[in-house]
Copies of this chain bind each other. A is one copy, B any other.
Amino acid sequence: MKKINTAPISGMQELLPEAQATFDRLKTAISETYRRHGFLKIETPTIDRTEILFAKAGGDTEKQVYRVFKTAETADDSDQALRFDHTVPLARYVVEHENDLAFPFKVTQIGRNFRGERAQKGRFREFYQADVDIISRSELPLEYDAEVILTLMDTFSNFELNTPVVARISNRKILNGLIRGLGLETKSRDIFSIIDHSEKVPEEKTLSAFSEIGLSEDETNKIVSFMNIRGKKDEVIPQLNSLDISDELFKEGIYELGKILTLIEANVGASEITVKTEVKAVGDMKIVRGLDYYTGTVFEFNLPEHPGLGSVSGGGRYDNLAGYFTEQKLPGVGGSIGLTRLFYVLTENNLLKSQVIEKPVDYVIVPISENEIEFSMKVATDLRRDGNSATIIFSNKRLGDKLNYAAKISQKAIIIGENEAKSGQYEIKELFA
């Protein structure tokens, strides 16, 4: 027989049932928290027209998009590809269904996206993303930025991690205003990029990068002082003001950040919830979110005890969701958890309180002989009706073999012999693998 390689394609996550159960527990925590925060779930097709997908993509993303061949029967259709994120299909969805949606549209998408990146440990070509977005047809109040961040904070606090999480929040207007206030507009792109990379390189490298793009020592110092501002609202806002930049955008950004931090700090302290994982929020001027399309609030979630693991969630405010598809201006704010990567990071680094659900079945029922099958099925039905999972072993093997199998999938066995079937009484036996 021809030997076929049965491994999944590299870059594709494929889990054993026990790990899959742990993955699903995280996924359920996410979707349930999003639901409670009032986000409506939608699903967009995996395949879309390249005309739609490439409207925004460009550059590296376009190179990584999985295009699909037309089949004989779909040959009449336009060029098609697999979606690489949820944002572009969402923009299409909102424009297409605008008249049937209530705005602000609080929406969540949890599903698989695709990027044909070079295979690499911890990088995935197919990956779950869990997005929340709030889209408006008119001005979208700042409180919604706080709501998105609080939703993600709640989500992380519903995970059972043995390490804390921090939401780091900034506002693009502050850095844009600072750059304008210092008269450095022509170097804006470089400055964004240097700050964005600053946590991945030693400090000297950041300083020399600023000098390489022609910043004076004074300008560099000002920006470095700015970058290092981090903390609660009462620490961050006065420090930003003390930079003494008389730019309107700078001031507007500080006002917005102050307002959002106030709401978040008030809400986190609002009630004595027993959170499963500690999650706090800080203002942090190192957060710029790359060269992305954000226009105001930007944020990133990190594990402060594991800075090397990078961000585990991010998002921000954008002025115009669907500028490529419609003239209607649709401002929004959103965030995303990269679930496949997050699961990989958490399990590789042992950051989940109970690492893997080892025994996914609640009860295994073991009829001794054929005569007890009918009663065993009744026992299973009763257990299932109460919400338990139950499996019956049908086999002529020895009892020892049956119990070995039971111990692999469950911690509890119910052995049904003649007496049990007759009396209707049975015992639950603890199994040890």
| A222 at the binding interface (Cβ < 8 Å) | no
Interface residues of A in 102-141 (CB under 8 A from B): 102-104, 106-107, 112, 114, 116-119, 125-126, 141
Is A7 on the interface with B (CB-CB < 8 A)? yes
Tell whether A324 is near chain B: CB-to-CB under 8 Å: yes
Are B72 and A63 neighbours in the complex by a CB distance under 8 Å?
Answer: yes
A15 lies within 8 A of chain B by Cβ: yes
Q: Which of B4, B107, B154, B324 contacts A51 (CB 8 A)?
A: B4
Interface string of A28-66 (1 = CB under 8 A from B): 000000011110111111111101100100000001111
Q: Is the CB of A20 within 8 A of B8?
A: no
**What residue of chain B has the Cβ atom nearest to residue A268's Cβ?**
B381
Q: Give A28 Cβ to nearest chain B Cβ, in Å.
A: 10
User: Which one of A64, A103, A390, A395 has the greatest number of beta carbons of chain B within 10 Å?
Assistant: A395
Q: Are A267 and B377 in contact (CB under 8 A)?
A: yes
Contact of A4 among B46, B52, B64, B66 (CB under 8 A): B52
Query: Does B68 lie within 8 Å of A271, measured CB to CB?
Result: no
CA distance A71 to B126 in the complex (A): 14
B395 and A36 form a contact (CB under 8 A): no
Is the pair B405, A36 in contact by a Cβ cutoff of 8 Å? no
A293 in the interface (beta carbon within 8 A): no
Contacts of A150 in B (CB 8 A): 377
Number of copies: 2
Contact pattern, A 74-97, Cβ under 8 Å of B = 1, otherwise 0: 100110101000000000110111
Asked whether, in the complex, the Cβ of B14 is within 8 Å of the Cβ of A44, the reply is yes
Neighbour of A66 across the interface among B47, B63, B326, B364, CB < 8 A: B47
Contact yes or no, B388 A36, CB < 8 A: yes
Q: How far is the CA of A14 from the CA of B45 in the complex (A)?
A: 7
Q: Does A373 contact B (CB under 8 A)?
A: yes
Asked if A389 CB lies within 8 Å of chain B CBs, one says yes
B residues less than 8 Å from A107 (CB atoms):
17
| Contact, CB under 8 Å: A102 / B384 | no
Q: Which of A303-328 contact B (CB under 8 A)?
A: 324-327
Known: A66-B71, A271-B382, A378-B270. A20 touches B41 (CB 8 A): yes
Asked if A426 CB lies within 8 Å of chain B CBs, one says no
Chain B residue, CB-CB nearest to A11: B74
* Residue-wise interface mask of A (142-156) relative to B, using a CB-CB cutoff of 8 A (1 in contact, 0 not): 111001001000100
User: Is A9's beta carbon under 8 Å from chain B?
Assistant: yes
Q: Does the CB pair B40–A15 fall under 8 Å?
A: no
Distance to closest chain B CB from A81 (angstroms): 8
In the complex, the answer to whether A325 meets B4 with C-beta atoms within 8 Å is yes
Question: Which residues of B have CB within 8 Å of A97?
Answer: 16
- Shortest Cβ distance from residue A212 to the other chain B in the assembled complex, whole angstroms: 29
User: How would residues 338 to 379 of chain A score, 1 for a CB under 8 Å from any chain B CB and 0 otherwise?
Assistant: 000000000000000000000011001000000001100110
User: Which of A72, A102, A326 gathers most chain B CB within 10 Å?
Assistant: A102
Other A-B pairs, 19, CB within 8 Å; known A4-B55, A71-B116: A4-B324, A7-B96, A9-B45, A14-B43, A16-B42, A17-B101, A21-B40, A36-B389, A37-B389, A38-B392, A46-B114, A102-B408, A143-B373, A143-B394, A267-B378, A270-B377, A270-B381, A271-B382, A273-B385
Query: A residues near B, CB below 8 A?
Result: 1, 4-17, 20-21, 24, 35-38, 40-49, 51-52, 55, 63-74, 77-78, 80, 82, 92-93, 95-97, 100-104, 106-107, 112, 114, 116-119, 125-126, 141-144, 147, 150, 154, 263, 266-267, 270-271, 273, 324-327, 360-361, 364, 373-374, 377-378, 381-382, 384-385, 387-392, 394-396, 405, 408-409
Per CB-CB distance, the 6 closest pairs between chain A and chain B, nearest first, are A38-B391, A71-B116, A143-B394, A12-B45, A17-B40, A102-B408
